[in-house]
Chain A
């Protein structure tokens, strides 16, 4: 599985947008980009996934670079409840396992 690189930590203010970056320069043509988050003392939670086009859902938006070597998870208005570790994961279609990296620990200040 191709590797992803994320900042170790980020800070945001409540009610402001947050852009969480992920680099995946060795991504292959069949790799989907998945984002999960893990709130304190909870299991990971699915956020969003995409292949080439930008994606939106009720939780977040996923912006994928044209060359697919990077992507950005966008939380439009951060809340205190969004404080979590966010994982960017590459996965080949529906096959293969989710391989978690270190993720980005997001702190949200009131």
Chain B
């Protein structure tokens, strides 16, 4: 069983479109995260979500919005996609704050 799963694995879309990436964790963790890894391979935290408390990295454009229908899911919605949004997006979860489990990533390509 995959602990943290993301769908889709690959996403190619045109500029200006709105898209969503889904993330599910079956670990019963309370905290979930979204990270972005750009072409230079830097991993940057975008959001963390714990018990309905959302902590946003202030550098993230408001076109990005996380939505959590329940504790096991944290989806990422992106509006008006731009070329610079092309990256690999990773979802992660953690219970104790010490050990985070990451998904396999979603490679988003905006053309």
Seen from chain A, the residues whose Cβ lies within 8 Å of a Cβ on chain B are 32, 34, 36, 38, 41-46, 49, 85, 87, 91, 93-95, 97-100, 102
Hey, which bits of chain B sit against chain A, CB under 8 A?
A: 4, 33, 35, 41-45, 48, 55, 90, 92, 96-105
The answer on a CB contact under 8 Å between B98 and A100 is: no
Instruction: Please report the C-alpha to C-alpha distance between residue A38 and residue B35 in the assembled complex, in whole angstroms.
Output: 13
Partner of B92, one of A42, A43, A94, A95: A43
Docked CA distance A85–B43 (Å)? 12
In whole angstroms, how far apart are the Cα atoms of A34 and B97 in the complex? 11
13 new A-B contacts at CB < 8 Å, known A49-B99, A97-B33 = A43-B4, A43-B90, A44-B92, A44-B102, A46-B100, A46-B101, A49-B98, A94-B97, A94-B98, A97-B45, A98-B45, A98-B100, A100-B43
Q: How many A-B residue pairs have CB under 8 A?
A: 46
Complex contacts, B104 vs chain A, CB 8 Å? 42-43
Cβ contact within 8 Å between A85 and B41? yes
Q: Cβ of A95: which chain B residues have Cβ within 8 Å of it?
A: 97
CA of A11 to CA of B5, assembled, Å: 32
The residue in chain B whose Cβ has the minimal distance to the Cβ of A98 is B100
A94 CB to nearest chain B CB (Å): 3
Tell me, rounded to whole Å, the shortest Cβ–Cβ distance linking B10 to chain A: 11
9 example contacts (A-B, Cβ-Cβ < 8 A) are as follows: A36-B100, A43-B90, A44-B90, A44-B100, A49-B98, A94-B96, A94-B97, A98-B45, A99-B45
Assess whether B100 is in contact with A100, with CB atoms less than 8 Å apart. no
Closest 4 CB pairs of A and B: A94-B97, A43-B102, A100-B43, A97-B45
